[in-house]
Amino acid sequence: MTTMTEAASGLREFKMPDVGEGLTEAEILKWYVQPGDTVTDGQVVCEVETAKAAVELPIPYDGVVHELRFPEGTTVDVGQVIIAVDVAGGAAPAAPPAPPQAQASAAPAPVPPAEPVAPSGESEAAAQKPKPEGRKPVLVGYGVAESSTRRRPRRVVPSQQSEAVAAVAVVHAELNGHAAPAARPLAKPPVRKLAKDLGVDLAAVRPSGPDGIITREDVHAAVAPAPAQAPPVTAAPTATPAPAQDRAPAPLAPYDGARETRVPVKGVRKATAAAMVGSAFTAPHVTEFVTVDVTRTMKLVEELKQDKDMQGLRVNPLLLIAKALLVAIRRNPDVNASWDEANQEIVRKHYVNLGIAAATPRGLIVPNIKDAHAKTLPQLAEALGELVGTAREGKTSPAAMQGGTVTITNVGVFGVDTGTPILNPGESAILAVGSIKPQPWVHKGKVKPRQVTTLALSFDHRLVDGELGSKVLADVAAVLEQPKRLITWG
**What are 365-400's pLDDT values in tens digits?**
899 999 999 999 999 999 999 998 888 888 888 888
What pLDDT, on a 0 to 100 scale, did the predictor assign at position 125? 42
Q: Helix or strand or coil: residue 262?
A: coil
Asked if the model's pLDDT at residue 232 lies above 70, the reply is no
- Let me know: does 96 contact 32? Beta carbons within 8 Å: no
Residue that wins the pLDDT comparison between 167 and 444? 444
Q: Maximum Cα–Cα distance for the chain, whole Å?
A: 89
Q: How confident is the model at residue 181 (pLDDT cuts 50, 70, 90)?
A: very low
Domain boundaries, the chain: 4-148, 189-223, 270-488
Helix (H) or strand (E) holding 27: strand 25-31
List Cα–Cα distances, 367 to 200, 243, 245, in angstroms.
31, 55, 51
Q: Which of 385, 384, 399, 386 is nearest to 354 (CA)?
A: 384
In sequence order, the β-bridge partners of residue 38 are: 64
Task: Return the minimum-mean-pLDDT range out of 47-61, 122-136, 253-267, 273-287.
Answer: 122-136
461 carries an active-site annotation: yes
C-alpha 400 chain-centroid distance = 13
- Please state the pTM of the whole predicted model: 0.55
What are the backbone dihedrals phi and psi of residue 140, each rounded to the nearest 5 degrees, phi first?
-60, 130
Beta strand 213-214 pairing with 186-187: parallel
In sequence order, the β-bridge partners of residue 254 are: none
What pLDDT, on a 0 to 100 scale, did the predictor assign at position 214? 87
Beta strand 429-433 pairing with 368-369: unpaired
> Which class does domain 270-488 fall in?
alpha beta
Q: How confident is the model at residue 156 (pLDDT cuts 50, 70, 90)?
A: very low
Asked if the model's pLDDT at residue 34 lies above 70, the reply is yes
What pLDDT, on a 0 to 100 scale, did the predictor assign at position 171? 37
> What is the dihedral angle through the alpha carbons of 88, 90, 92, 97, rounded to the nearest 10 degrees?
0
Q: Which overall architecture, per CATH, does domain 189-223 show?
A: Irregular (4.10)
> Which class does domain 4-148 fall in?
mainly beta
Q: Which of 433, 315, 292, 455 is nearest to 383 (CA)?
A: 315
> What are the pLDDT digits (tens) for 199-220?
788 888 888 887 788 887 887 7
CA gap 34, 83 in Å, rounded: 10
Beta strand 63-68 pairing with 38-39: antiparallel
Percentage, residues of the chain above pLDDT 70: 70
Q: Helix or strand or coil: residue 387?
A: helix
CA gap 36, 34 in Å, rounded: 6
Task: Return the minimum-mean-pLDDT range out of 117-126, 247-256, 281-290, 359-368.
Answer: 117-126
Find the length of the chain.
490
Give whichever of 80-84, 154-158, 176-180 has the largest mean pLDDT.
Answer: 80-84
Residue that wins the pLDDT comparison between 433 and 425? 433
